[in-house]
């Protein structure tokens, strides 16, 4: 067996496969079919200060090789999370990273402060794909200054790993990764969902109640991979790769492209043990190829043969 554990900003993780925010609930719904202790970590559903009911139906629709969602950050709120979900998560022998959503920078800070005081949270991932109420609902994550400011304001509030989850719905994700690095963020998670839409031609109505939604699943993997490649070449902090991973081969592509670790999202809906299987498959690949430490794969892309289109952007 290769060495699969590693340290992410000081936090020891068992392996390089975590489950992505919003695709594993609060970790307690899959116990009968998957042992979460075999994961590198669990990232919680985005937590906001107040509970959020979420968007009206229809919230999801399947598309070619993927799905669109407009859940609307439905969650039980940070206080109920602490009271009802954290006691269970403390008993699970894996890292727990709390994902935070907010509509003002103060709210991000407040949620992080509440969680910082709680035992059982090993790190934070900041979901910046949220509408900023002060800016008329513009998404924080598409404004580099806002992403930098969020990181700057949150950094002093915790010594635990602070991950910022970037949206791909920007022109140059590298700039956003650099902003996070410059403000002391420990890692960037790349990517959140891509904006997409579906229409019912019988009724000429959008399928989702919110018209547009977030595209995820295998359909986005090539885009995600290119964003991870771009971000990882722009910064020294770790990049966590996310987007359409359903197999160990998918995860290996992300590691080779430059991701230090990966997150499995939509695939959990089809198989709650998907992440565990991906982690086992990475180990198997290393064994078969005589690789003693998974770390050797990270950024091992052999791209000598040609210049990337990205090169003209960077």
Partner 1 sequence: MMMELCPVEGVRRAGDGIYVLSFVSAAMSRSIRAGQFLNLRVEEGCEPLLRRPFSAYRIEKTSIEILFHVVGRGTAALRKKRQGDVLDVLGPLGKPFRTADPGYDTGLLIGGGLGVAPLPLLASALREQGKAVVTFLGARSASQLVTDHLENVHTATDDGSIGFRGNVVGLASDFLGKHPITRPKIFACGPMPMLRAVASFARASDIPCEVSLEGPMGCGIGICQGCPVELAGPEKSYALMCKDGPAFDIRTITI
Q: Which stretch binds ligand FMN (CB under 6 A): 17-25, 27-35, 202-210, 296-304?
A: 17-25
CA-to-CA distance for 185 and 111, rounded, in angstroms? 17
Q: Among all chains, which residue has been given the structure tokens 């925010």?
A: 21
Q: For residue 271, give both structure tokens.
A: 């198989």
Helices (H), the chain: 78-80, 86-91, 105-116, 144-154, 173-182, 221-234, 248-257, 267-270, 274-288
**Burial of 28 from C-beta contacts in 10 A (0-12 / 13-18 / 19+):** middle
Judged by beta carbon, residue 278 or residue 297, the one nearer ligand FMN is 278
Of 16, 85, 160, 165, the one binding ligand FMN (CB under 6 A) is 165
- Residue of 109, 130, 144, 286 marked active site: 130
Taking CB within 5 to 8 Å according to partner kind, which of partner 1, ligand FMN, none is near residue 21? ligand FMN
Q: Which stretch binds partner 1 (CB under 8 A): 51-59, 133-141, 150-158, 185-193?
A: 51-59
CA-to-CA distance for 28 and 266, rounded, in angstroms? 17
**Burial of 157 from C-beta contacts in 10 A (0-12 / 13-18 / 19+):** middle
CA-to-CA distance for 45 and 23, rounded, in angstroms? 7
Under the binding rule (CB under 6 A), the answer on residue 71 touching ligand FMN is yes
Of 141, 206, 217, 241, the one binding partner 1 (CB under 8 A) is 217
Taking CB within 5 to 8 Å according to partner kind, which of partner 1, ligand FMN, none is near residue 30? partner 1
Under the binding rule (CB under 8 A), the answer on residue 38 touching partner 1 is no
CA–centroid distance for 102 within its chain: 16
Of 4, 13, 14, 22, the one binding partner 1 (CB under 8 A) is 22
Query: Is 286 labeled as catalytic in the residue annotation?
Result: no
Q: Which stretch binds ligand FMN (CB under 6 A): 4-12, 14-22, 180-188, 291-299?
A: 14-22
CA-to-CA distance for 270 and 49, rounded, in angstroms? 30
Residue whose C-beta lies closest to ligand FMN:
22
Judged by beta carbon, residue 249 or residue 300, the one nearer partner 1 is 249
Under the binding rule (CB under 8 A), the answer on residue 245 touching partner 1 is no
Q: Are 125 and 97 in contact (CB under 8 A)?
A: yes
Q: Would you tell me how many other CB atoms lie within 10 Å of the CB of residue 199?
A: 12
Judged by beta carbon, residue 101 or residue 174, the one nearer ligand FMN is 101
Measured CA to CA in angstroms, residue 119 lies from 67, 89, 180 at distances of 35, 10, 26
In the complex, what is the shortest distance from the CB of residue 28 to partner 1, in angstroms, rounded to a whole number?
9
Q: Would you call 96 helix, strand, or coil by DSSP?
A: strand
Under the binding rule (CB under 6 A), the answer on residue 160 touching ligand FMN is no
Q: For residue 262, give both structure tokens.
A: 């990966």
Under the binding rule (CB under 6 A), the answer on residue 39 touching ligand FMN is no
Task: Give contact residues for ligand FMN (rule: CB under 6 A).
Answer: 20-23, 45-46, 69, 71, 73, 99, 127, 165, 192-193, 216-217, 220, 242-245, 264-266
Task: Give contact residues for partner 1 (rule: CB under 8 A).
Answer: 22-25, 29-30, 32-33, 45, 53-62, 64-67, 69, 71, 74, 217-218, 246, 266, 268-273
Question: Which residues participate in catalysis according to the annotation?
Answer: 130
């Amino acid at each position: 067996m290769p060495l699969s554990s590693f340290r992410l900003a000081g936090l020891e993780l068992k392996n390089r496969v975590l489950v992505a925010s919003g695709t594993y609930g609060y970790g307690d719904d899959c116990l009968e079919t998957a042992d979460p202790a075999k994961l590198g970590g669990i990232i919680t559903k985005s937590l906001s200060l107040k509970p959020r009911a979420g968007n009206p139906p229809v919230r999801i629709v399947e598309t070619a090789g993927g799905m669109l969602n407009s859940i609307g950050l439905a969650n039980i709120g940070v206080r109920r999370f602490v009271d009802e979900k954290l006691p269970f998560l403390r008993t699970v022998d894996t890292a727990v990273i709390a994902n935070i959503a907010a509509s003002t920078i103060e709210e991000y800070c407040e949620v992080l402060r509440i969680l910082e005081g709680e035992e059982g949270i090993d790190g934070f991932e900041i979901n910046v794909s949220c509408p900023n109420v002060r800016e008329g609902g513009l998404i924080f994550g598409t404004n580099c200054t806002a992403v930098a400011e969020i990181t700057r304001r949150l950094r002093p509030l915790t010594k635990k790993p602070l991950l910022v989850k970037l949206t791909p719905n920007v022109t140059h994700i590298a700039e956003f990764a650099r902003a996070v690095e410059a403000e002391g963020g420990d890692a960037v998670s790349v990517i959140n969902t891509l904006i997409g839409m579906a229409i019912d031609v019988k009724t000429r109505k959008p399928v989702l109640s919110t018209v547009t939604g977030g595209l995820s699943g295998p359909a986005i993997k090539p885009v995600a991979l290119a964003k991870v490649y771009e971000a990882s070449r722009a910064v020294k902090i770790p990049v966590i790769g996310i987007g359409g991973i359903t197999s160990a081969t998918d995860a290996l592509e992300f590691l080779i492209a430059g991701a230090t670790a990966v997150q499995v999202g939509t695939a959990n809906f089809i198989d709650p043990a998907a992440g565990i299987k991906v982690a086992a498959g990475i180990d198997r690949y290393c064994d078969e190829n005589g690789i003693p430490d998974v770390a050797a794969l990270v950024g091992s892309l052999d791209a000598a043969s040609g210049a990337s289109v990205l090169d003209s952007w960077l």
